[in-house]
Structure 1
Amino acid sequence: MLAQYQANTQIVEMKVVSNGIGGTRWSPPQSGFIKVNFDGAVFGNLNMSGIGVVIRNNNGAIMASCVEKINQAYKADEIKALAALKALKFAHKLGSQNAILKGGSLGLIQPLKAEDHNLSPLGLLVEDVRLFANNFVRLLYSHIKRSGNSIAYNLAKHAIHIPDFQVWMEDVLSYIVSFLQSDVADLP
């Protein structure tokens, strides 16, 4: 199973693009790929968690986005792993074959990129993501700081305001548009 995973999944080095002012910026995926940004939020006082996913093409245009509210307060690393799995499933349902999975948790991205079995408490969730990755022809993993992942982060925070699951095709919430405009303002 691990050999099949390694054969079907290309692992790349972490790439973080600096905008020169201490943060990071969204950058378009290489030709033939989509970029799938994900994040999670925990609302401990309400015993709930949220997941946000946004999928964009190489022009920065939104292909789809979604938000899910989960009626359990997970640990931060657990909800991010669940968000990564939801992001892959969402991208796969859209028919994607080549994707860059991009999230703000270096503690998740590093184990996803590693070739060995993860024996940490997060290991089973990491293995779930790895197994689902077999549905893609090429899948790259990448870490990004929160400032470069603002759309997925704000979608995850919005989860508290929805009944359970919400999808937007070629769109996002209206208040998220300013984050999208900021991301693509300096693209060539």
Structure 2
Amino acid sequence: MTTNTTTRQATWFGRTVDFDYADSVAAYTVVLLRLVTGYWFLHAGYTKFGSFDASGWLVNATAASPIHGFLAWAGQTPWMLEFTNFAIPTGEFLIGLGLIVGALVRLAAFFGGVLMVFFYLGNADWAHGYVNGDLFGLLMFVVVGVFAAGRIFGLDAMLEATEFVRQRPALRYLLG
């Protein structure tokens, strides 16, 4: 098996840097990352359906959290708590489903990233430093979204080929 190597350039802080990567290995890695992240969120959402109650976590969120006040308010406000109890499992499930089938991947990665920011800041478990599982989850969504992982073995490749999307190129920012 031969591996094609591609050289790319990137500008970092005003300095141009060349880097090489193997096309096929990079593609498989991005797809694997998309599928693992998708399964993680699909499973997390599915197991919360019917039994999820965020009130305890919201009200008792880590006091060191920079968003503790907001989380406590959300946990004590009936409509916000009801919205959260619906949005977390449904959002996780739909984000995971989108990543697994490769549809609306950038949109799913964006909302997955938003959830991970809330989890990261809400948990605020930084006793061993700022790098933890929530931060790595956020990073996984960033990578999946930036590399347009839905275009590789995903439905986004087919969606982008439709006349509807070709006539509306801005939709490509949601796909990929």
TM-score tier after normalising by the smaller chain length: under 0.3
Higher relative contact order (CA 8 A, sep 6+): 1
TM-score by length of 1: 0.21
Looking at secondary structure, tell me which structure has more strand per residue: 1
Task: Find the structure with the greater CA-based Rg.
Answer: 2
